[in-house]
A and B are shown apart, each in its own frame.
Chain A
Amino acid sequence: MNSGIPLQYFLILATIMFFAGVYGFLTRRNLITILMSVELILNSVNINFLAFNRYLYPHKLEGMFFSLFVIAVAASEAAVAIAIIINIYRRFTTINVEDVNEMKF
């Protein structure tokens, strides 16, 4: 059943993806890039779900379903987020987050 790839590899990949996403989320100023970073984070979680499901409970399918669910949520989230970004662009003619600060104080 094991195809020779140990669980740690999946986890290391997921961790790298997760922190790459976090880093991108914190440092990027472009809203689209931020959205992409969020997708990275979500996908890293998906990998974790699938890997754990495969290695710990191979006869159950909860992990699979959960990752499918996450993908669905991510898709709808992308739709909503892009709609918002378009509106922001119309309003401010920019999608740089630092310029969108009217609500502070």
Chain B
Amino acid sequence: MINFNYTIWIFLLPFLMFLFLGLAGHKYFPRLSGILGTCGLAVITVLSYITAYKYFFTSEKVDGAYQKIIAFNFTWLQFTDKLHIDIGALLDPISVMMLIVITTVSLMVHIYSLGYMKGEKGFERFFSFLSLFSFSMLGLVLATNIFQMYIFWELVGVSSFLLIGFYYQKPSAVRASKKAFIVTRFADLGFLIGILILSFNTKTFDFITLTNPTGPAIAQGSGIAFLGLSVMTWSMIFVFMGGVGKSAMFPFHIWLPDAMEGPTPVSALIHAATMVVAGVYLVARMFPIYALSAPVALNVVAYVGAFSSLFAAVIACTQTDIKRVLAYSTMSQIGYMMLALGVAGYGGHEGLGYMASMFHLFTHAMFKALLFLGAGAIIHAVHSNYMTEMGGLRKYLPITHITFLIACLTIAGIPPFSGFFSKDEILAAAFHSNKILFAVEYAVAGLTAFYMFRLYFSVFWGKDINYHQTPHEAPATMTIPLIVLAVGCLVSGFIPFNKLVTSDGKILESEIELMIAIPSVLIGLLGIGIAYLMYVKESAIPDKLAATFKYGYKWAYNKFYIDELYLFVTKKIIFRYISDPVAWFDRHVVDATMNGIAGITQGVSFRIRGLQSGQLQKYAFVFITGAIMLAILFIYLWK
């Protein structure tokens, strides 16, 4: 056995950094805190890479499968002998892969923020929140049991809330952070219910016991039925609800576009690369249960993913705020990952979708972080979020231009960039199990290429705009992360995921299927071609198209009115018919009872206050009268 004890520092360092920067940073070293936070994260990154190397290349395999290793574990809350909540670190292929993703992207974002956030008010607060986020996210992926995961799940929600609301003087940012928190929190209610049902039936929180395919947890609990579905299915659907909220799948996606109010590095880290894939990670973590004992829930995952990816891709084609386009694109890509998990099975070749999903998670983290950081560099240069106010930027921002182009090619699935490989695996997995979903994903692949290149062409080509100040290339702290991530986009496609990350830990034989790969590249190129025709020069085609499909365009532009629907349901129905009566009851019955008691007491005291006149003679009168009455009583009446 290799010693993985040091992984505790992967947790602890960012937490200590958070406390340190949060408590002391403001007072003693506001300028230095960025460097300190970045150095702390660099150490964690190195530790994670060491862990990954040791885990993948030197740890022992049993039957050719990677084992789940508990690096450390201690009991945190002990309820009974069997029921206890632990805090620990579990190493298995997906958690180690997530370590790499999180620390790499987080480190790049830290370095980038040194330039991007320079001179902002609350610089040290920003870095302490980033450390808090890194801590929570690492705790989430390393969780040994579902309850620990839930705790850290909420912690990432909190850090996301804090970072979206970083510009707390801006009302829109405050609104967005509240929205994100409330929507995800509502979804987490489902997660908690799922955990309770699951652990009630299996009597454990522990992931290893829960996901052991031959263990008691999977065999048991599938029998009892409610509304035609087994208990396991219900609990898995509820657990997935939490994942839907955190990963911004339909119908809980409404918070993600608004979350773009936060600083751009935050969007890159939290709302593109790491936190929003927590839902995918959750399903992957519980995958054996989904696959073996709750196939209906797994179907739900697949359809929710497919619908979300199509839905978001359509909306993304109409948005003009570059960060919002990227937000919907994130939602669409996560939909891909969910779909891939949903069509996968446990073990062997069935597990292709699982591997593809994790692969896409990995490559997506790289290229989406790159896209966001590139968008940040553009916004930094132009001081606007809107594509309509940009154009011809390729001359001013050469490095951003090249890296952004690489990211766009990656997401469009053009070889040899990494997105091609992972997307191809997903399409192959869908092809082998569900032809309808496969067709949907094909359409989405084309749409993705179209809207990404619509963004690219209208920002970097298109019409020339007279800028007030000539845009200039971002400083080196911002361009270096871009270059590193662009290299990541080029390289990460060649990582042999089929040997490293599979559903059962064994090697999965897979190769690129030309029958699927060639058409997917072609449809990507088609999307790029259409975008080229429409946006590379100023043309009337987009407006004409928008006019032709007037209603469709309007619906998509307004995000299919989902926000309005939510507002209608909450304000007009829930608030009016549930909250208002409850508030009325509270005010007029509960409060009134209490106020009544207080009022009666007060009234009585006002009446009897007159007796306390302060006139000694009155007191004496009462006293003497009393004495005389007592005397009469005792002398004449007491027999």
- A residues contacting B by CB (< 8 A) are 22, 25-27, 34, 97-98, 101-105
Contacts and interface: CB of A to CB of B under 8 A. Distances in A.
Nearest to B614: A104
A26 B613 contact: no
Given A25-B620, A26-B617, A104-B614, 16 more contacts: A22-B624, A25-B617, A26-B621, A27-B617, A34-B617, A97-B616, A97-B617, A98-B615, A101-B613, A102-B614, A104-B612, A104-B613, A104-B615, A105-B609, A105-B612, A105-B614
Nearest to B624: A22
Nearest to A103: B614
Kindly name the residue among A26, A27, A97 whose own CB sees the greatest number of chain B CB atoms within 10 A.
Answer: A26
Contacts of B624: 22, 26
B615 A101 contact: yes
Nearest to B628: A22
Contacts of A26: 617, 620-621, 624
A103 B619 CA distance: 14
B614 A101 contact: yes
A8 B276 CA distance: 106
B205 to A, nearest CB: 62
Contacts of A103: 614
Contacts of B621: 26
Nearest to B621: A26
Nearest to A98: B615
Contacts of A22: 624
Contacts of A25: 617, 620
Contacts of B616: 97
A105 to B, nearest CB: 6
Nearest to B617: A26
B627 to A, nearest CB: 10
Contact of A97 (B609, B612, B615): B615
Nearest to A25: B620
25 contacts: A22-B624, A25-B617, A25-B620, A26-B617, A26-B620, A26-B621, A26-B624, A27-B617, A34-B617, A97-B615, A97-B616, A97-B617, A98-B615, A101-B613, A101-B614, A101-B615, A102-B614, A103-B614, A104-B612, A104-B613, A104-B614, A104-B615, A105-B609, A105-B612, A105-B614
- Majority secondary structure, A binding face: helix
A98 B616 CA distance: 9
Contacts of A102: 614
The 9 A-B residue pairs whose C-beta atoms are closest, nearest first, are A104-B614, A101-B614, A26-B621, A26-B617, A103-B614, A104-B613, A22-B624, A26-B620, A104-B612
Nearest to A104: B614
A27 B616 CA distance: 11
Contacts of A104: 612-615
Contacts of A97: 615-617
A101 B614 CA distance: 6
Nearest to A100: B614
Contacts of B617: 25-27, 34, 97
Interface string B612-639: 1111110011001000000000000000
Contacts of B609: 105
Nearest to A28: B617
A10 B585 CA distance: 75
A104 B611 CA distance: 10
A73 B270 CA distance: 89
Contacts of A101: 613-615
A22 B613 CA distance: 20
A22 B609 CA distance: 26
Interface in B585-624: 609, 612-617, 620-621, 624
A43 to B, nearest CB: 18
A45 B547 CA distance: 115
A9 B583 CA distance: 79
A13 B20 CA distance: 92
A102 B620 CA distance: 18
Contacts of A98: 615
Nearest to B618: A26
A102 B613 CA distance: 10
A26 B84 CA distance: 77
Interface in B321-380: none
A101 B615 CA distance: 7
Interface in B162-176: none
Kindly name the residue among A25, A102, A103 whose own CB sees the greatest number of chain B CB atoms within 10 A.
Answer: A25
Contacts of A27: 617
B605 to A, nearest CB: 11
A26 B622 CA distance: 10
A74 to B, nearest CB: 18
A64 to B, nearest CB: 27
B624 to A, nearest CB: 6
Contacts of A34: 617
A44 B616 CA distance: 22
A77 to B, nearest CB: 15
A97 B616 CA distance: 8
A74 B621 CA distance: 22
A42 to B, nearest CB: 15
Nearest to B616: A97
A29 to B, nearest CB: 8
Contacts of B615: 97-98, 101, 104
A27 B617 CA distance: 8
B13 to A, nearest CB: 64
Kindly name the residue among B609, B612, B614 whose own CB sees the greatest number of chain A CB atoms within 10 A.
Answer: B614
B155 to A, nearest CB: 55
A18 to B, nearest CB: 11
A73 B332 CA distance: 101
B491 to A, nearest CB: 85
B617 to A, nearest CB: 5
A85 to B, nearest CB: 13
A24 to B, nearest CB: 10
A26 B624 CA distance: 10
Contacts of B613: 101, 104
Contacts of B620: 25-26
A34 B616 CA distance: 11
A92 B613 CA distance: 18
B608 to A, nearest CB: 12
B164 to A, nearest CB: 55
A2 B624 CA distance: 35
A37 B613 CA distance: 22
Contacts of B612: 104-105
Nearest to A27: B617
